[in-house]
């Protein structure tokens, strides 16, 4: 396979989250979805003693920026196509096992085309991601049971829920040392559980110093769905975060999955951007993948 010449744009890899945010600002300024993602993860790392192997990777270049959590896809927001190709070159060099990319459609496709040219690895559409924002919680119906802060006795159950969440979405992302990560989030008070005689749903959040917070993950046991648990849990958590000083709350959802999106709309979340998630390598369920191969 003949490889195209590399981009002339200079890409910088940042070790410092604050420096990344400063350098990346031209790429996300005025784009609340990308800004929310970049600021959240950069500030989370800056404020948390994250082990080296779990730290996100930060890249910037003229017209673009990228952030990658360990074993996750590169998040490139609305980088220009030229910048997306330059970022792909940088990832080929520094992070060659990248599982995919998430960003505005033109950026994601440009990145994926360059990735395939450089590596020969197939590219498949994973899903469309809806970035959503909430500033006021709407009234939601009351349901049986009540929410509570997760404790150490819930860690094993939460780990199982998280594994089920990843498996149901068929995500290739494998979180580094998941039990330890759950333990840390429980210790930080960042996980909530809905109890109705038993544990039926969970939701977590990540705070950011900029006055925003991100809810993730949200998961309900299959046997307990369609009873309003997730709606009540997310509404209560969002209300708690706003009362605690957050000016807005963010989350990311599968744009093509009507169930969760209906839940978030009832709570008061509004879609602010649509991003494309492309996966690298052949999916397990055949050469076309769950959503079909992308013509890159």
From the first residue on, what is the mean pLDDT of each consecutive set of 10 residues in the chain (296 residues)? 63 89 84 74 66 78 90 89 97 90 94 95 87 95 97 97 84 68 92 98 85 90 96 98 93 91 97 90 46 34
Task: Tell me the torsion sign for CA atoms 101, 257, 36, 166.
Answer: negative
Give the number of residues written for the chain.
296
| Listed residue (283, 276, 281, 280) closest to 108, CA to CA | 276
Tokens 């060659």 belong to: 96
What pLDDT is stored for residue 295 in this prediction? 34
CB atoms near residue 292 (< 10 Å): 10
Tokens 């594994």 belong to: 163
What pLDDT is stored for residue 290 in this prediction? 36
Supply the pTM of this predicted model.
0.79
CATH number for domain 137-267, candidates 1.10.150.530, 1.10.10.10, 3.30.360.10, 3.40.630.30: 3.40.630.30
Alpha carbons 34 and 157: distance in angstroms, whole number: 32
What pLDDT is stored for residue 51 in this prediction? 64
Beta-strand ranges (E) seen in the chain are: 12-14, 57-61, 64-68, 74-77, 100-103, 123-134, 146-149, 191-195, 199-207, 212-220, 248-254, 270-280
What pLDDT is stored for residue 44 in this prediction? 66
What pLDDT is stored for residue 282 in this prediction? 53
CB atoms near residue 6 (< 10 Å): 15
What pLDDT is stored for residue 283 in this prediction? 47
**Domain-by-domain residue ranges, the chain?**
12-132+276-280, 137-267
Let me know: does 171 contact 72? Beta carbons within 8 Å.
no
- Dmax (CA) for the chain in angstroms is 62
162: exposed, middle or buried (Cβ count in 10 Å: 0-12, 13-18, 19+): buried
Beta-strand ranges (E) seen in 32-186 are: 57-61, 64-68, 74-77, 100-103, 123-134, 146-149
């Amino acid at each position: 396979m003949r490889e195209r010449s590399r981009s002339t744009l200079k890409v910088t890899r940042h070790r410092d989250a604050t420096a990344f945010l400063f350098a990346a600002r031209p790429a996300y300024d005025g784009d609340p979805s990308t800004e929310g993602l970049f600021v959240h993860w950069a500030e989370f790392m800056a404020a948390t003693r994250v082990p080296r192997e779990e730290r996100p990777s930060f890249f910037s270049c003229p017209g673009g920026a990228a952030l990658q959590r360990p074993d996750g896809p590169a998040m490139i927001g609305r980088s220009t196509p030229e910048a997306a190709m330059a970022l792909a070159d940088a990832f080929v060099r520094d992070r060659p096992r990248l599982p995919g990319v998430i960003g505005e459609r033109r950026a994601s496709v440009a990145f994926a085309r360059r990735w395939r040219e450089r590596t020969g690895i197939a590219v498949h559409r994973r899903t469309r991601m809806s970035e959503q924002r909430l500033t006021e919680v709407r009234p939601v119906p009351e349901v049986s049971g009540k929410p509570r802060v997760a404790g150490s006795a819930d860690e094993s159950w939460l780990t199982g829920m998280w594994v089920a969440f990843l498996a149901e979405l068929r995500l290739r992302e494998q979180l580094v040392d998941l039990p330890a990560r759950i333990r840390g989030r429980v210790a930080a008070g960042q996980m909530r559980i809905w109890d109705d005689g038993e544990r039926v749903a969970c939701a977590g959040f990540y705070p950011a110093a900029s006055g925003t917070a991100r809810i993730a993950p949200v998961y309900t046991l299959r046997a307990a769905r369609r009873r309003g648990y997730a709606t009540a849990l997310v509404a209560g958590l969002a209300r708690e975060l706003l009362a605690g000083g957050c000016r807005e709350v963010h989350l990311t959802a599968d744009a093509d999955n009507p169930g969760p999106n209906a839940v978030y709309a009832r709570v008061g979340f509004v879609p602010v951007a649509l991003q494309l998630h492309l996966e690298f390598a052949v999916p397990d369920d055949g050469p076309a993948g769950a959503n079909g191969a992308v013509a890159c």
